[in-house]
Amino acid sequence: MVSIDQEKCIGCGLCVADCFPNDLIMKDEKAVATNKTCIKCGHCIAICPVNAASISDYDMTEVKEYDAKTFEVPPENLLNFIKFRRSVRKFKDQPIEKEKIQQIIEAGRFTPTGSNRQPVSYIVVQDEIKNLTGLGLEGLNRLGKNILDDTTNKNPLFRFYAKRWMKMYEDYLKNPELPTNLFFNARAIVLVVSDSSIDGGLAASSMELMTSAQGLGMFFSGFFVRAANGNPKIKSFLGIDDSKEVIACLVMGYPDAKYQRTVPRKKAEVSWL
């Protein structure tokens, strides 16, 4: 519930003007929360010049005052940072500190969500990577067989991946102890789970940036996402209920490759209206 400290409030009306769901009103020259349409987005907390707003559902000690030195990122640096990141699939045999994974999840937690529902959760897999590998490859093998058995599916890319998944599973069965092309030799798997692909995808994007900022390498495993969704065996192993899906799979570790420069991309297709 939102509350406005009436003793602190100076009646400037900034929070009322910035309240998108129109839950805040002015009464007797003070801001008041009706708590009827509030989505607990925290804009009132962020904009108040005298720190009079609070939300009882949250830990208010998390709130930080704006400081340009620690909050601002030069746009040129940010763009270069994005351009330089690479999908990493070669990892060192080095454990990832728990604090770094927690910060990566924090980046996801503070990513915006539709109507501020915050419907995103996270699963960190470290000790069970071996078991998850087996389940994932088993699921991909089944998908591959289904694609090849479907005579109406003539898509050459689908059929290429179907054969690749089946070969990956075959190689895994021969020697389950060796790294596979599903997770390679990663030291942690972080799964982004949600009932919203947009909210989960946005969170995963923020998490990728934080992963790179931590000096870690990662790649998004679309293979595992495809294997997991609609697969009761994998979802049961992960404790995911039927209302949610694995939106993104971040496979990470300390990179065992050093990149020297950015790479080119196709020109952006842009329409200016």
27 forms beta bridges with: 30
For residue 174, what are the CA distances in angstroms to 106, 159, 168, 169? 39, 23, 10, 9
Q: Please tell me the distance from the alpha carbon of residue 66 to that of residue 185, in angstroms, as a whole number.
A: 40
Q: Please tell me the distance from the alpha carbon of residue 61 to that of residue 38, in angstroms, as a whole number.
A: 21
Q: Please tell me the distance from the alpha carbon of residue 227 to that of residue 165, in angstroms, as a whole number.
A: 10
Residue 267: CB atoms within 10 Å: 6
- Yes or no: say if 267 and 209 are a contact pair by the CB < 8 Å rule: no
Residue 19: CB atoms within 10 Å: 21
Q: Is 29 left (phi over 0), alpha (psi -120 to 50) or beta?
A: left
pLDDT tens for each residue of 216-254:
999 999 999 999 998 999 999 999 999 999 999 999 999
Measured in residues, the chain has a length of 273
Q: What is the pLDDT of residue 154?
A: 85
Q: Please tell me the distance from the alpha carbon of residue 35 to that of residue 21, in angstroms, as a whole number.
A: 10
The tens place of each residue's pLDDT in the chain, 273 residues long, gives: 999 999 999 999 999 999 999 999 999 999 999 999 999 999 999 999 999 999 999 999 999 999 999 999 999 999 999 999 999 999 999 999 999 999 999 999 999 999 999 999 999 999 999 999 999 999 999 999 999 999 898 899 999 999 999 999 999 999 999 999 999 999 999 999 999 999 999 999 999 999 999 999 999 999 999 999 989 999 999 999 999 999 999 999 999 999 999 999 999 999 999
**8-state DSSP, 111:** S
What's this model's pTM, rounded to 2 decimal places? 0.95
Q: What is the pLDDT of residue 230?
A: 82
Helix (H) or strand (E) holding 193: strand 188-194
Q: Comparing C-alpha atoms, which of 164, 172, 135 is closest to residue 147?
A: 164
